[in-house]
Amino acid sequence: MIHKSTFTAARHAAVATLIGISASLLASHAATAQQTQAPQQFGPRVNRQAQPQPPKPEVIATHGDWQVQCGEFMARAHQGSKEASDGSGSGKGDALEGQDSASGEATRKVRQCGIMQSVRSAERQNLGLTLVLVNTKQGDRDVTMMRILVPIGVFLPTGIALEIDGTAVGRVPFTRCLPQVCMAFAEATPETIEKMKQGSTANFIIYEAPGAGLSMEVSLSGFTAAYDQLNAL
């Protein structure tokens, strides 16, 4: 059974993912968990310091049902080489060099941008899905990566099925789950991007169990303008 995570929690997770750093995403979930979970009943009480919040991204434009967002985060100086391959990073951006005050490790401030849309299930309003697209590099190739965030409790082996205007496009595999959200991650091929530009609705199907799919409709209104602006950043 899919966990009844709120739509807001999934959206907060997407915001942190949009700026591309796993540590920020984990911090966001830790803070949310502290607010929503009952206190422990066993063991000595420990006064915990508040977890630092990930920086809030800036909404720089809205096109139809899509937002263009940019944000900044601090990354290890050598992190960029693995971002495209494991999904821990997210897209093109400017970098400023620096040094971590605690560890002394070289760091850089990276500005990253992406386009996103969050929706709720028409059948079950307490379930949400957030779709994020970012541009990045894989070797010498410029690629667009697609991330989908859904509540925990989904059936992982099937991944998420994608249809555009009723035509099957493929499946996006799950790559990791955090306490309140699971993430699917894959390259959005030029063919898929073109279908999204020409289509009106993208239907993402998540599964509670084999054969038990739940459709989540994402509007493609404004997608072309949002994607073109992302490419121009």
pLDDT tens digits for 202-230? 999 999 999 999 999 999 999 999 999 99
Which fold does the domain 116-220 belong to in CATH?
Answer: Immunoglobulin-like (2.60.40)
Phi and psi angles of residue 199, each rounded to the nearest 5 degrees, phi first: -90, 175
CB proximity list for 166: less than 8 A, separation 6 or greater: 203
Look-up: residue for tokens 């249809």? 163
The string of pLDDT tens digits covering residues 54-92 is 667 899 999 999 999 998 877 665 554 444 444 444 445
Q: Is the dihedral of CA 219, 222, 225, 229 positive or negative?
A: negative
The H or E element containing residue 29 is helix 22-36
Q: Is 198 helix (H, G, I), strand (E, B) or coil?
A: helix
Whether the pTM exceeds 0.75: the reply is: no
pLDDT, greater one: 195 or 126: 195
**Helix (H), strand (E) at residue 224:** helix 223-232
Average pLDDT over residues 181-210: 96
Instruction: Tell me the domain boundaries of the chain.
Output: 116-220
